Chains A and B, each alone.
Chain A
C-alpha cells in the first residue's frame, strides 16, 4: 500500500543499547524528517533529509544518527540509548520540504529503561 510506514511500532530497550527505527515511504518524496513528540514540547525535529545522501540536523539531533542511501528509506539510530530518549518518534515526508504538505507515519513508541 502507498504511504509512509514505521517499524517497530513499539520498542523497549535498555540504557546503552543501540536502537534503529525504520521509516519507509512509497511516494518518492524528496524530503524526509524525524521528529520526537514529548508532553509539553510538542513535535521537535531531530534530523531531516532533502534527498538521498543529503541529511542535516534539526532542533534536537544529539544522540541520534541518520542515513539515507535510498530515497524511500530514512532510518534513525540511537547509538547508545539514554532514558531521556524515551519518546514517541514520528517519521514524515514531503516533496518540497517546508513549502509543501508533510505526511506522517504512525509513530514508534520507544521506552528506554
Chain B
C-alpha cells in the first residue's frame, strides 16, 4: 500500500522560532492536506493543496505541494505556545487519504 514518511517525529522549540516539517512518499498524490490534532480531539484541517507546485498560506502557516506530487512541507512561522499538538500530513488519491504518523510539536514559552 501507499506509505508516507513524515519527519521529524517530534520537535521541541522555543516560542518565536520557525518550524518546518515534511512528508515524502514513493507514490504520487492528487491532494495534500495538513491537519493539527490536540489531545482528546479529532484532527482539524489546516491547509489543503490541490495542484503540484501550489503554495498556500493560512496565517502563520505555509504549505507547499511538491512539484513531483510525491512530497509536501508545512512551515509555521513565529511559533506560539498554542501551536503545540500533533501535525499530520495526508496524501489524497481517488477515494482515500493516506496519513503520515505525525510530528509532535512542543513549544517552550
Do A and B interact with each other, yes or no?
yes
Interfacial residues, chain A to chain B (CB-CB below 8 A): 31, 33, 40-43, 45, 48, 50, 56, 58-59, 90, 97-107
A35 to chain B, nearest CB (A): 8
Whether A102 touches B97, Cβ cut-off 8 Å, given contacts A59-B1, A90-B43, is yes
20 more CB-based (< 8 A) A-B contacts, given A42-B99, A45-B96, A107-B40:
A43-B43, A43-B99, A45-B97, A56-B95, A97-B92, A97-B96, A98-B29, A98-B30, A98-B31, A98-B92, A98-B93, A98-B95, A99-B31, A99-B94, A100-B92, A101-B45, A102-B33, A102-B45, A104-B43, A104-B44
Interfacial residues, chain B to chain A (CB-CB below 8 A): 1, 29-31, 33, 35, 40-45, 48, 88, 90, 92-97, 99-102
A105 touches B42 (CB 8 A): yes
B42 touches A104 (CB 8 A): yes
Distance of A103 Cα from B101 Cα, bound (Å)? 18
Distance of A58 Cα from B99 Cα, bound (Å)? 13
B92 touches A106 (CB 8 A): no
A21 to chain B, nearest CB (A): 13
Distance of A35 Cα from B87 Cα, bound (Å)? 17
Nearest residue (CB) in A for B92 is A98
Q: Provide a sorted-by-A list of 22 A–B residue pairs whose CB atoms are within 8 angstroms.
A: A42-B101, A43-B88, A43-B99, A45-B96, A58-B96, A90-B43, A97-B94, A97-B95, A97-B96, A98-B29, A98-B97, A99-B30, A99-B92, A99-B94, A100-B92, A102-B90, A102-B97, A103-B45, A104-B42, A104-B43, A105-B42, A107-B40
